[in-house]
A and B are shown apart, each in its own frame.
Chain A
Amino acid sequence: MNKEESIKEDLLKKFSYLDGTFNIVRARRISITVGLENFNEVFVYIAKQMHFGHLCTITGLDEGERLGFIYHLADESGCVINLKTSVSKDNPVIKTVTGYFPGAEIYERELVDLFGAKVEGLSEGNRYPLTDDWPLEQFPLRKDWKGRENA
């Protein structure tokens, strides 16, 4: 069994609800989708127990009614797990992962500014990357935001 298959088996043994959400894209790339309610335990297990100790970045996505978030976790052998979750745009609240990855602070601020995500537990601090006088409720990477109209 190759490495990607064994990661899948290990995770399915631990979290049976992940069945059907796996996609082994190619060597060293695995995508997993998880509901927000189970996100934390899967994230912590992958990061701590499976030693995916490097958070490459967090990608935000506008998926229409929902906001998607992909946490790109890498291990020392170069394997990356893209752990996806999503929340409703009406109440886009996710929990911070800075407790596990202090470097994630800047990635989460990016989600706040560009997608309008609300990150619970994220410490007070400077915004990133938009200016301090950027209008409230304008999130440039949402699909309905058009640069020229808002200028």
Chain B
Amino acid sequence: MHNSEEFKIPFGPQHPALKEPESFSVALKGEKIMGVDIRLGYNHRGIEKAAEERTYIQDIYLIERVCGICSHAHATCFIQAVEEIANLVVPKRALYIRTLIAELERVHSHLLWLGVAGHEIGFDTLLMYSWRDREVVMDILALLTGNRVNYGMNTIGGVRRDIDPEQIQQTLKAVDILEERTKYYIEVATQETTIIKRLSGVGVVSYDDALRLDAVGPTARASGVKRDIRADDPYAAYAEISFDVITDDHCDVYGRTVVRVKELMESYKIIRQVLKNLPEGPIAVRAPRMIPAGEALSRYEAPRGEDVHYVKANGTDKPERVKIRAPTLANIQAVKHMLKDRYLADMPIVIAAIDPCFSCTDRLVSLSHIDSRDKKTITWPELHQFSIEWHKQQGIDFTQLNKQLEERLKKC
């Protein structure tokens, strides 16, 4: 890889989690990325077509499986559109329960991301501890819904399960634990010089570029774009809840880290308000099997950013058209921009920083001379190791920090 000739690297493509799997073909001169060509669609499952052939009730469960991490996000976004077309007034208690699950999902997703980010930069103790803490919220999700992911909470007109006072107490207790831990992660993220040095100036996308490229979610907010559907276009119970939209002006991976850890604190704030003000009453209204003709556009702030669903109904029990735009698709152009003129060693963390679930699978990277057919292959773990070693040579070493965190958390 230490070569001045230009290489072209096919990078990808399998990506099991979302509707938008990625393959990056990277043109490399020495260790510098000259350009990135992105090919998507390897995991296209035809869910939009399949949704047209199923009933609305079946579609809830199909669409919940667009993404394993943001399953509640997609199901809720879809159902909101259907409810708008059918003119259903969803009971307030159901809206509050949807909001509760949404924020618990955001907590588990952001803690998952924090671990992945730690792993990508060689700070594996952070991965171990944030994922251990994530189990606290996974247990609560399992307690409230019966599942760790794909919760099956939604139905047209409300939710399928109520929550009782005992569950509320357990959730509040878990939130207290998570809040304590998150405070420490904020301290680590904002004060540890090794992290600041490693993440600052990496994967830069300016405020203007984030707007121009239509970036969404924490990726946009870390570039100072105050765009959050929960505040701008409130759904579920968000209009009745007070919270801050976290932004940062670092415009890099460091900024994206700060935004996510601070957003965790906002999620705890929202969860407490939801549980304190949970209205009494029914959890669902009866919905018709046939949805009257009409159309609606629904937006939802998923952990990764704006999720968009468009539904067109034709008066039958099956939709005429379901269109889904998941947040990663909106952030792909921004990734292309972030990687240009950066070093290959920063590629794993830059891609991981938009949180596309990209780093969760091993994949093969093949290196080839741009003008010949000779191929050399390295695996994703090898590239990951190269990235860590490369930065060690630049003076960024997480060994000491890993030990410190272990010592500190052992005492907790």
Contact = CB atoms under 8 A, between A and B. Distances in A.
A35 interface: no
B232 A128 contact: no
B212 A102 contact: yes
B41 A131 contact: yes
B323 A102 contact: no
Interface string A127-151: 1111100000000110001010000
B363 to A, nearest CB: 18
A151 B41 CA distance: 19
A120 to B, nearest CB: 20
B37 A61 contact: no
Interface in B196-240: 211-215, 226-227, 229, 231-234
Given A72-B297, A103-B330, A126-B37, A78 B233 contact: yes
A128 B41 contact: yes
Nearest to B233: A78
B213 A129 contact: no
A29 B333 contact: no
Contacts of B211: 53-54
Contacts of A74: 233, 299
A26 B312 CA distance: 16
Given A26-B84, A77-B232, A129 B40 contact: yes
Contacts of B232: 76-78
Interface of chain B: mostly helix, strand, loop or mixed: mixed
Contact of B214 (A55, A61, A125, A140): A55
Nearest to B25: A126
Contacts of A79: 233
Contacts of A55: 214
B16 to A, nearest CB: 15
Contact of A59 (B38, B227, B310): B310
Nearest to A129: B41
Given A78-B229, A80-B297, A129-B41, A140 B323 contact: no
Interface string A111-127: 00010000000000111
Interface stretch (B44-52, B352-360, B397-405): B44-52
Nearest to B337: A102
A24 interface: no
Interface in A27-56: 28-29, 31, 53-56
B310 A140 contact: no
Interface of chain A: mostly helix, strand, loop or mixed: mixed
Interface in B286-317: 295-297, 299, 306, 308, 310, 312
Contacts of A96: none
A105 B38 CA distance: 12
A61 B46 contact: no
Interface in A81-95: 82
Nearest to A145: B49
A130 B299 contact: no
Nearest to B84: A26
A56 B38 contact: no
A57 B310 CA distance: 10
Across the A-B interface, give the 4 residue pairs with the lowest CB-CB distance, nearest first: A129-B41, A78-B232, A78-B233, A103-B214
Given A56-B299, A106-B332, 16 more contacts: A26-B84, A31-B295, A54-B214, A56-B325, A57-B308, A59-B321, A72-B308, A77-B232, A79-B233, A102-B333, A103-B214, A104-B214, A106-B40, A126-B37, A129-B41, A147-B46
